[in-house]
Amino acid sequence: MPKSRAGPHKFSLSHPQTPKLSYGYKSTMNVGRSGYRVFSANSTPACTELAKKITDGCACSLTETRVDVKESVRGQDIFIIQTMPRDVNTAIMELLVMAYALKTSCAKNIIGVIPYFPYSKQCKMRKRGSIVCKLLAAMLAKAGLTHIITMDLHQKEIQGFFSFPVDNLRASPFLLQYIQEEIPDYRNAIIVAKSPSAAKRAQSYAERLRLGLAVMHGEAQCAESDMADGRHSPPAFRPSCGPPGLELPLMMAKEKPPITVVGDVGGRIAIIVDDIIDDVADFVAAAEILKERGAYKIYIMATHGLLSADAPRLIEESAIDEVVVTNTVPHEVQKLQCPKIKTVDVSMILAEAIRRIHNGESMAYLFRNVTVDD
């Protein structure tokens, strides 16, 4: 494949122009098939940095674009890499316009590489809200995307919102490797689920590491299923009017029991696993309880480190010893504010996914030794 002229391939919206890239690596891919290119969005420098690592892994050239593609993409497989920074709505709009520009340029396939899928927590109806994740899936399809590569969706059922294929990769092999190589005496550790809803994921980690399992339950944790979802609406009182003879049962509010830890964490290293760490208040509270129960070190392992608001400060002041997340979401600023935050690079698996999709190879290899509960 000829060397790509990265300069003209830029992409911009109404926000200020970001720094330009100029990479020219030759591809060693299967050139017998129709060509392919990898495009990087301009949302943040972290996005282009992750894109650079991914393209290094799949030995192809990186092209950063503007809304008009000045080099032919007709009949080619196009991969758009987009991470989600703080300004998530701008990043989504950038992705949509970028995909539509490539669609109207007659690209054969447009594959979105979205390591963290935004609005994934809004995948259930709550009161009079909306299922935003389903709306976003429809928008991406309308813009022209034909395939998505993502990682650790908040709920695996989200894949059903899409009208095109979704490859939901897993970060667990990288996090498990970190535990084995970077946590001293990890054999004395115990995997902890900070809520019953996270028990299956924690059990999956514990079984592969041959470690024990503990589950936290009680008023200190705030599970997603306990959030207001309309089941207590209308309010718990009998209406003053209605059809004669209609008597609805009273809605009884749920009451959480006192905090309990099912499992012995005394004298052990506690490793809390989850898919997203955003508002860290629950993790900080869980760490304090585990310390009280005798755990002498506490690690947090999560795929997506959103770490919003005062998360770095709260982590630094808490009983947590280390927070380990992947680079699916930019968090360089948070790392500067809190040295307890560590990063695991997952660009290798994203690069391999791009290579396999372009060459028409099976994706099963990327899911070996991965359980359905990850």
Q: How confident is the model at residue 56 (pLDDT cuts 50, 70, 90)?
A: confident
351: pLDDT strictly greater than 80: yes
Q: How confident is the model at residue 20 (pLDDT cuts 50, 70, 90)?
A: very low
pTM, whole model, 2 decimals? 0.78
Instruction: Quote the pLDDT of residue 241.
Output: 57
Average pLDDT, the chain: 82
More confident residue, 181 or 232: 181
More confident residue, 217 or 218: 217
210: pLDDT strictly greater than 70: yes
333: pLDDT strictly greater than 60: yes
Q: How confident is the model at residue 34 (pLDDT cuts 50, 70, 90)?
A: low
Residue with tokens 């979401």: 329
DSSP state of 166: E
Instruction: Quote the pLDDT of residue 22.
Output: 30
Compute the average pLDDT of residues 253-262.
79
Write out the two tokens for 29.
């891919």
- Taking only the tens place, the pLDDT of each residue in 91-119 is 898 899 999 999 999 999 999 999 999 99
* pLDDT above 70 as % of the chain: 80
Instruction: Quote the pLDDT of residue 76.
Output: 94
Q: Which stretch of 163-167, 223-227, 307-311 has the lowest confidence by average pLDDT?
A: 223-227
Instruction: Quote the pLDDT of residue 245.
Output: 67
- Cα separation of 209 and 179, whole Å? 9
* pLDDT above 90 as % of the chain: 56
- Cα separation of 50 and 40, whole Å? 9
Instruction: Quote the pLDDT of residue 42.
Output: 66
- Taking only the tens place, the pLDDT of each residue in 262-299 is 999 999 999 999 999 998 999 999 999 999 999 999 99
Residue with tokens 């718990």: 236
Q: How confident is the model at residue 64 (pLDDT cuts 50, 70, 90)?
A: low
Please, how many CA atoms are within 13 Å of residue 347, restricted to the half-sphere of its CB?
21
Which amino acid type is present at position 340? K
Q: Is the dihedral of CA 61, 67, 73, 79 positive or negative?
A: positive
- Cα separation of 154 and 152, whole Å? 6
Instruction: Quote the pLDDT of residue 370.
Output: 83
